[in-house]
């Protein structure tokens, strides 16, 4: 029964799921038409919202490209390969590899989503080369599924935003400290449940696979950079292989990070990218080796570069037309004080399909949830936690965040989405139960 169930989902997505670019084009058309039908917007107005929003994620798209490339360069260093070897010595069987990847990614993404998203994909990629018999699709799906802990962790946008002086809802709710959201009983309980449920689901899915897919592993073998004998090098080539230049530049970068930290700077996406760039340069020990790994990593960034603007356009239409607010209002209108967290979870999950940025979605949905919580006398902290888990939950079937992972892994969205749907089902039950009971 398990093999039939798992195989049915996996085969269905493999057969019928198109490239994520096709999906984003369909979503664009759906939102464009829905804005005119349900919000009374004219076609010209919707076109304006779309074009204005189209450019809102350019900075973020570049950040995602850089974190993918910089993370990959670090993964190509001997130090990281040695670390993966140690992990592989523990995860010698396919089952252990699956559990290791899913659990590790959950923990790292809770600490920082950018670091975890890349680290999980790279770990899956390297374990696939070392553990015989593990299904590569499930391994990558398990790595991506671990990303769902990000919004409930230390780099979650909504929880950090409401704890920051001057946030846009401060007049309504004041400051809500992280001890009531990130470190609150509800959130930590859900985190603990997901740390158990998700890895076990990933492990159980192994039993539903008739024949593990490992055929793509040969393509993951990296070409070694072979230097010419030193006596044949031209002066320019000697500079390109200079350890002194690489380490001096890396030292400058780390000194800058130290100054940033001493001045009270916190951990964010930009500083992580900065650290990864100079860490990669230091560990490669030569500019030429570093640049070669960048060239290799850059081959997989096309999906990020072209699809993020389309999602930005969708977000522009959802926000400016009022469609996102209407959708969120429709859910909260059927809530009571006790059910509002659960309804907030569901509504955030649905809205996330159209507005995949957690921060952008909070701008649209946050005011409505806050107003509903106050009018129903519900716990605002619990409602916020429900929102962040709803936003993270449907990321399992949202190709937007999967693009960097798929680029590193060399897979298509259709290869992992069948597994991710089942994972979304089991984790959704666990989250919903916590929201209704705790």
* Domain annotation covers residue 124: yes
* Domain annotation covers residue 309: yes
pTM of the model: 0.85
Please give the Cα distance from 369 to 346 (Å, whole number): 12
**Residue 390 near residue 349, CB atoms below 8 Å:** yes
Please give the Cα distance from 314 to 299 (Å, whole number): 26
Residue 183 three-state SS: coil
**Residue 140 near residue 411, CB atoms below 8 Å:** yes
* Domain annotation covers residue 219: no
Please give the Cα distance from 123 to 129 (Å, whole number): 10
| Confidence at residue 225, expressed as pLDDT on a 0 to 100 scale | 47
| Confidence at residue 65, expressed as pLDDT on a 0 to 100 scale | 87
215 contact partners, CB below 8 Å, separation of at least 6: none
Q: How many CB atoms lie within 10 A of CB 189?
A: 15
Counting runs of H as helices and runs of E as strands, what totals does the chain give? Answer: 22, 0
* Domain annotation covers residue 176: yes
**Tally of domains within the chain:** 1
* Domain annotation covers residue 319: yes
| Confidence at residue 434, expressed as pLDDT on a 0 to 100 scale | 96
Residues of the chain with pLDDT under 70: 1, 215-232, 267
- Domain residue limits at 169: 2-212+299-437
* Domain annotation covers residue 45: yes
* Domain annotation covers residue 272: no
Please give the Cα distance from 46 to 323 (Å, whole number): 11
**Residue 407 near residue 68, CB atoms below 8 Å:** yes
* Domain annotation covers residue 253: no
**pLDDT of 32-88, one tens digit each?**
999 999 999 999 999 999 999 999 988 888 888 888 888 888 877 888 878 877 887
**Residue 131 near residue 92, CB atoms below 8 Å:** yes
DSSP H or E segment with residue 29: helix 20-39
């Amino acid at each position: 029964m398990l093999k039939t169930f798992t195989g049915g989902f996996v085969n269905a997505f493999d057969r019928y799921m198109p490239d994520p670019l096709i999906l984003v084009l369909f979503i664009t058309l759906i939102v464009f038409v829905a804005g005119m039908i349900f919000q009374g917007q004219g076609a010209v107005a919707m076109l304006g919202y779309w074009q204005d929003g189209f450019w809102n994620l350019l900075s973020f798209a570049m950040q995602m490209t850089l974190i993918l490339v910089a993370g990959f360069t670090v993964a190509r260093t001997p130090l990281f390969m040695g670390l993966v070897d140690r992990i592989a010595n523990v995860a010698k069987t396919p089952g252990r590899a699956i559990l290791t990847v899913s659990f590790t990614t959950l923990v790292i993404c809770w600490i920082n989503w950018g670091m975890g998203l890349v680290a999980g994909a790279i770990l899956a990629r390297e374990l696939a080369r070392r553990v015989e018999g593990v299904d590569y699709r499930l391994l990558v799906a398990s790595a991506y599924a671990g990303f769902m802990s990000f919004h409930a962790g230390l780099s979650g946008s909504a929880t950090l935003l409401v704890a920051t002086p001057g946030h846009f809802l401060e007049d309504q709710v004041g400051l809500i400290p992280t001890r009531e959201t990130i470190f609150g009983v509800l959130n930590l309980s859900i985190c603990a449940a997901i740390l158990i449920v998700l890895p076990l689901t990933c492990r159980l899915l192994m039993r539903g696979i008739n024949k593990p897919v490992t055929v793509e592993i040969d393509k993951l073998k990296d070409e070694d950079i072979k230097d010419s004998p030193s006596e044949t090098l031209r002066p320019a080539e000697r500079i390109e292989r200079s350890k002194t230049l690489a380490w001096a530049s890396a030292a400058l970068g780390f000194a800058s990070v130290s100054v940033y930290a001493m001045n009270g700077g916190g951990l964010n996406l930009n500083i992580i990218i900065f650290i990864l760039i100079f860490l990669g340069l230091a560990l490669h020990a030569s500019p030429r080796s570093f640049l070669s790994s960048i060239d290799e990593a850059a081959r997989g960034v096309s999906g990020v570069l072209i699809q993020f603007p389309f999602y930005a356009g969708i977000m522009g239409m959802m926000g400016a037309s009022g469609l996102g607010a209407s959708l969120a209002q429709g859910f909260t209108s059927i809530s009571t004080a006790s059910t509002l967290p659960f309804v907030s979870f569901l509504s955030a999950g649905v809205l996330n399909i159209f507005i995949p940025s957690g921060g952008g979605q909070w701008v649209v949905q946050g005011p409505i949830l806050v107003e509903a919580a106050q009018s129903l006398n519900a716990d605002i902290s619990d409602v916020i936690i429900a929102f962040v888990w709803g936003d993270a939950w449907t990321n399992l079937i949202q190709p937007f965040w999967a693009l960097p992972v798929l680029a590193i892994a060399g897979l298509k969205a259709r290869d992992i989405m069948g597994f991710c749907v089942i994972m979304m089902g089991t984790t959704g039950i666990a989250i919903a139960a916590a929201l209704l009971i705790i």
